[in-house]
């Protein structure tokens, strides 16, 4: 199980509402990408799915014109993906490509294999691990994560066997408690290979999960979000409603 307690404690930034939250996270991401490129690096970022992530992606696309980011020199990954058809609305990549990556002309986008590419979810997980081995970094610049009301991150759910997966980059999930049941997730080992972890949460429905994630005591088994921290920083970007129980 991931023990990241030795890494820097999470910082918390609270915005008044979901719109302000999405704009703040988008602006910060653009700054980080521009700074990394100015240092001569090709930043590698892990994107997430979910409601607030979709809004963040829209805001990145809106603000991108004013930012000095070359999107052909940004490498993008997903923290998790649902094993469904490539054009399914359930797929995390579908809105991200439509709202963000297509309009911006990102070319280095590594998607998890879909049901059209491989025969089963285990093969999708293996394929994504191979892509990471071939094109992934020693450590990511930013791993962005949504959080579920049960405090899951990526597709690592409370009490699930996948939490304990070590020694491999990805894990196939066949019985996700949240539909669809078949998913591919990065493991804690991979999610924690990063300078920065950003957990983004909006709304009252996330308040208990956020409080459990940030509480002084707790377990990764019950609260998977406790198992991810960046080497340099972990920031929980919240709106007032999500932060209401902290
Ligand atoms: O299933 C998933 O859920 C989380 C959170 O989604 P939300 O809609 O409640 O914000 C998401 O971060 C993850 O990538 C996704 O596969």
pLDDT tens, residue by residue, 209-224:
999 999 999 999 999 9
Nearest alpha carbon, ligand 1 atom 12: 146
End-to-end distance of the chain based on CA atoms, in angstroms?
Answer: 25
The answer to whether 181 and 162 have CB atoms below 8 angstroms apart is no
pLDDT band at 17 (very low <50, low <70, confident <90, very high): very high
Write the residue with the smallest CA distance to atom 2 of ligand 1: 50
Contact 189, 160 (CB under 8 A): no
Among 59, 96, 80, 94, smallest CA distance to 178 is for: 80
Q: Is the CB of 176 under 6 A from ligand 1?
A: no
Edge to edge, what strands does the sheet with 140-145 contain? 11-15, 233-239, 194-201, 140-145, 44-47, 75-78, 108-109
Q: Is the CB of 203 under 6 A from ligand 1?
A: no
Alpha helices in the chain (DSSP H): 18-38, 51-63, 93-96, 102-104, 121-135, 188-191, 207-214
Mean pLDDT score of the chain? 97
Percent of the chain residues topping a pLDDT of 70: 100
Furthest-apart CA pair in the chain: how many Å? 45
Residue 43 CB–ligand 1 contact under 6 Å: no
Contact indicator for 46, 154 with CB cutoff of 8 Å: no
23 falls in which pLDDT band (50, 70, 90)? very high
Cβ count near 217 (within 10 Å): 6
Is 234's C-beta closer than 6 angstroms to any atom of ligand 1?
no
**What's the pTM?**
0.97
Task: Give dist(CA 92, CA 70) in Å, integer.
Answer: 23
For ligand 1, atom 14, the nearest C-alpha belongs to: 49
Q: Is the pLDDT of residue 3 over 90?
A: no
Q: Is 141 in the pocket of ligand 1 (CB under 6 A)?
A: no
What is the mean predicted confidence (pLDDT) over 82-95? 97
The per-residue DSSP string of 131-180 comes to HHHHH--SSEEEEEE---TT--BTTB-TT-GGGG--SSSEEEESS-SSSS
| Ligand 1 atom having least distance to the Cα of 145 | 12
List of domains in the chain: 11-239 (3.40.50.1360)
* 18-38 vs 51-63: helix crossing angle, rounded to 10: 60
* Nearest-atom index, ligand 1, CA of 53: 10
213 pocket-lining for ligand 1 (C-beta < 6 Å): no
Q: Yes or no: say if 200 and 52 are a contact pair by the CB < 8 Å rule.
A: yes
Query: Looking at ligand 1, which residue's alpha carbon is closest to its atom 7?
Result: 50
For 30, other C-beta atoms within 10 Å of its C-beta total 18
pLDDT in tens, 145-202: 999 999 999 999 999 999 999 999 999 999 999 999 999 999 999 999 999 999 999 9
Rounded CA separation 108/73 (Å): 7
Burial of residue 166, with CB atoms counted within 10 A of its CB: 0-12 exposed, 13-18 middle, 19 or more buried: exposed
47 backbone dihedrals φ, ψ, rounded to 5°: -95, 165
Residue 1, pLDDT score: 63
Distance separating alpha carbons of residues 42 and 39, to the nearest angstrom = 9
């Amino acid at each position: 199980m991931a023990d990241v307690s030795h890494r820097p404690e999470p910082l918390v930034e609270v915005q008044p509402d979901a719109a302000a939250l999405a704009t703040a996270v988008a602006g910060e991401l653009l700054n980080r990408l521009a700074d990394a490129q100015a240092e001569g690096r090709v930043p590698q970022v892990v994107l997430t799915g979910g409601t607030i992530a979709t809004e963040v992606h829209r805001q990145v696309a809106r603000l991108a014109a004013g930012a000095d980011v070359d999107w052909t020199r940004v490498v993008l990954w997903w923290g998790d993906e649902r094993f469904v058809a490539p054009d399914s609305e359930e797929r995390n990549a579908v809105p991200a490509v439509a709202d963000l990556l297509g309009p911006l002309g990102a070319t280095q986008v590594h998607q998890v294999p879909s049901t059209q590419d491989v025969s089963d979810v285990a093969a999708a997980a293996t394929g994504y691990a191979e892509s990471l081995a071939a094109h992934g970094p020693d450590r990511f610049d930013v791993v962005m994560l949504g959080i579920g009301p049960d405090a899951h991150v990526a597709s690592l759910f409370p009490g699930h066997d996948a939490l304990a997966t070590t020694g491999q980059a990805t894990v196939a999930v066949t019985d996700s408690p949240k539909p669809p049941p078949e998913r591919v997730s990065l493991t804690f080992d991979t999610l924690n290979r990063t300078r920065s972890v950003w957990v983004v949460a909006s709304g009252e429905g996330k308040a208990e999960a956020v409080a459990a994630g940030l509480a002084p005591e707790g377990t990764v088994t019950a609260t998977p979000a406790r198992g991810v921290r960046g080497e340099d920083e972990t920031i929980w970007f919240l709106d007032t409603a999500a932060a209401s129980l902290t």
